[in-house]
Amino acid sequence: MQQFTNQIALVTGASTGVGFGIAQKLHSLGATVVMTGRHEDVLTQAAQEITPTGERISVIKMDVASAKDFQSTIEQVEMKYGALHFLVNNAGVTGPHGVNIEDYPLEAWHDVIETDITGAFHGLKYAIPAIHRSGGGAIVNLSACNGVTGIAGIAPYTAAKHAVLGLTRSAALENAQKGIRINAVGPGYVETPNIAMLPQDTQNWMASTHPMGRMAKTEEIANVVAFLLSTDSSFITGAFIPIDGGYTAQ
């Protein structure tokens, strides 16, 4: 795969789980990685795990739901590194599980929508001009397998992940001739620290929903994201790639 030497990548929600795995992968391929999240101490610890020396890595505390935060972050990246080539819109929340729409708390609805949809919109709005100024690059948005299916009990999250695909496709068309490719991936259940805290029978059920009979590893998500950012995928834009062990093929 292409190396990302001298390329600047911004990964949101990078302190743990899939976001951490993506940041780690891009760094291993030579990119300079900017990790963002809501908790600076957790981010700093994650960055040190990737590289104790701090080489080619930095952290910025940011809430993707805040336009001001996202705009400031892009400005900081350009000021420090002089460019931005890649964005991974990974940050997201699922909200309460197993709650029907009529019982879903309005506050939780707004939290999911503001983080998952508005956060992705902010990333596109402020990163696209910066990537254009840097001579082009690529963006990957994290949707989910339920970005193309319905799942009862988490309607706001399902709606948000469907919306991420709409944003991806529109943005891809708008930038198809501007040197910026924009794609989305749809993970199924992934083995993350948060998932590992769930009861074993719940984890077993999650694994069983995939025809392959297991959950994804974070590196399996990161590998596809890295591919979509690289020139190896130079004729792919506006695409949605499920990484779900066959879930959406059912």
The pLDDT tens digits for 21-34 are 999 999 999 999 99
Q: Report which of 230, 233, 124 is spatially closest to residue 174, judged by C-alpha positions.
A: 124
Tell me the average pLDDT across 83-109.
96
Q: Which residue shows structure tokens 């590194």?
A: 81
User: Which residue type is seen at 126?
Assistant: Y
pLDDT at position 194 = 87
On the question of pLDDT at 110 being above 90, the answer is yes
Exactly one of 81, 157, 189, 247 is catalytic; name it.
157
Rounded Cα distance between 229 and 137, Å, is: 7
3 state SS of 91: coil
Rounded to 5°, angle at Cα 62 from 130 and 94: 105
- The 10s digit of each residue's pLDDT in 144-183 is 999 999 999 999 999 999 999 999 999 999 999 999 999 9
* Entry pTM: 0.96
On the question of pLDDT at 121 being above 90, the answer is yes
pLDDT at position 61 = 97
Average pLDDT, the chain: 96
Tell me the average pLDDT across 47-62.
96
On the question of pLDDT at 54 being above 90, the answer is yes
Percent of the chain with pLDDT over 70: 100
On the question of pLDDT at 2 being above 80, the answer is no
Residues in the chain: 250
Question: Quick one: pLDDT band at residue 1, thresholds 50, 70, 90?
Answer: confident
Residue 103 DSSP one-character state:
G
On the question of pLDDT at 57 being above 90, the answer is yes
**Catalytic annotation on 157?**
yes
- Residue 249 phi/psi, 5° resolution? -85, -10
